[in-house]
Amino acid sequence: MNILVTGGAGYIGSHTIVELLNAGYTVIALDNLVNSSRKAFERIAHITHKTVEFIEGDIRDKALLKKIFANYHIDGIIHFAGLKAVGESAEKPLEYFDNNVTGSLCLIKAAVAAHVPHFVFSSSATVYGPEAPVPYQETMPLGTASNPYGQSKIMVEQILSSTSAAVNNFTVTLLRYFNPIGAHCSGLIGEDPKGIPNNLLPFVTQVAVGKRAQLSIFGGDYPTPDGTCIRDYLHVVDLAKGHVKALQASVRQQDGQVHIYNLGTGRGISVKEIVETFENVTAKAVPYTVAPRRVGDLTAFWADPSKAQQGLDWQAEHTLEDMLKDAWRWQENNPEGYGEN
């Protein structure tokens, strides 16, 4: 099967491509390299001994999409491409809606026109909204996101659901995942944010490697055991395998329906627990200061992953220690990431 992976050079996309290739799929990757590196594909080839057909371009380029679907028989799509920084989305809402929503709409239209039967979307736990009780379950209604990034995910979910209802044989899988961390065990691919990291782990590892002086923990007065936010962290390789499982389930079902799954561990871990465990497993100090809370940060949330366990035969297998060791191996081996920042 030929699978089009948008955002394939990115953090989650590159790890998912490794798992797709290992599972025997042929991959066509599309990426505009705004927040990623083409070097990821060289590393993927080294890991898998297989090559990826890489196309540099934007999902908003309708002519390019038309050409891709004309030149390749695409059996399924895994859609990662999009901007993803919560804070930045509040500063640049139009850019986020244009990239994430308009871009997805262009891709979905092209997929429907080409009669692609399987569409897996990289969604987020943010779609549950700030009022949802924990643990998050797929039966909960879509919430009201507190930032444009989350709003864009909700909008694309709605577009895909409506399209699946109106178009025959268009099976959609919405994967709502939580906080991916870690890296491939080879240390060859990992998270390489351009500029100041927006996620916790790249900041932790960059402090440990000496690239940054200290970590800022945003808020130390939350109503949690240690005063810091709690999240559901899962290994990026587990997450990548979840996408392969979702694609395989979609092919088995071929029912033209919408399927929704949480991808998480079901365990909440605090920011301080992440830092302390990282220091324990790596013997590297991570000095930090406690900064004021960020607007929009929730106190605690985590997944109920039971539906994915039952419906996809998927569950997170890596421990927190595994995640942090792998994240550090990537950073230590690649102190400047892919070297293009």
Active centre residues (catalytic): 149
Residue 300 gets which letter from DSSP?
B
Residue 90 gets which letter from DSSP?
H
Strands 233-235 and 288-291: unpaired
Task: Give the separation between CA 77 and CA 206, rounded to whole angstroms.
Answer: 33
Using the CB atoms, write b or e for 289-327: b if 16+ within 10 Å. Answer: ebeeeeebebebbbbbbebbeebbebbbebebebbbbbb
Whether 122 contacts 83, CB under 8 Å: no
- Cis omega (within 30 of 0) on the bond before 133? no
Give the 3-state DSSP-derived string for 189-219, with helices as H, strands as E and coil as C.
Answer: CCCCCCCCCCCHHHHHHHHHCCCCCCEEEEC
Task: Give the separation between CA 171 and CA 222, rounded to whole angstroms.
Answer: 41
Task: Give the separation between CA 173 and CA 307, rounded to whole angstroms.
Answer: 13
Nearest to 120 by CA among 167, 160, 90: 160
The helix (run of H) or strand (run of E) holding residue 39 is helix 39-48
Q: Would you say the C-alpha torsion 202, 206, 207, 211 has a positive or negative sign?
A: negative
